[in-house]
Amino acid sequence: MSRDFDPRAAPTAGAVQAKDRAPFAAALAAGFILWTAVFSIANMLLSGVIEEKSSRVLDTLLTSVSPGQILAGKLLGVASVSLTVFGVWAAAGAGVAQLALLNAPPSALDAVQAVATPQLLAVFVGSFLAGYLMYGAIFLALGALCESLQEAQTLIGPMIMVLMLPVLLFAPAFE
């Protein structure tokens, strides 16, 4: 049986433990959560714009504000709602983790402490915002071009390919 060792030059360097592997597992899980969230939220933006166009709600709104303001407001509003949902998930996860760690071995506590860092949270939020703003703006533009969901499905095919690329590259990226 082979063992993995920590290559860092330190007096305590030795076999790789759970706390050394925890950031990798957390990054993999966070990447998949981010991809799923961005994909589903951007799709909601697309269907929302098309629905508003077909029900003539957008025509009424255009009498008061410019199209750019409507799309920017929709993009920022859905981003705020999404960050709120992530906040609720994080609070629930922290509560469950605290309950689970009451009788956990010290190695599990070390692994959680290695993952629960402000830097990782900042990277998660920044990555979500960057991906969401990029794909959300593209999906909003596609929604503005189309009159029905059937038209949008023909244009969204190439976008699905672009969205699938990060998932296909998860394994090579973590190698």
In tens, the pLDDT along 100-141 reads 777 777 767 776 777 777 888 888 888 888 888 888 888 888
User: What whole-number distance in Å separates Cα of residue 77 and Cα of residue 95?
Assistant: 27
- Residue 11 reports pLDDT greater than 60: no
pLDDT above 70 coverage of the chain, percent: 85
Nearest-CA neighbor of 20 among 100, 113, 103?
113
Is 18 in contact with 110 (CB distance < 8 Å)?
yes
The model's pTM? 0.70
Q: Which residues contact 90 (CB under 8 A, 6 or more apart)?
A: none
Pull the structure tokens for residue 155.
Answer: 């244009």
Which of 54 and 11 is assigned the larger pLDDT? 54
Its sign, for the CA torsion 106, 34, 44, 47, is negative
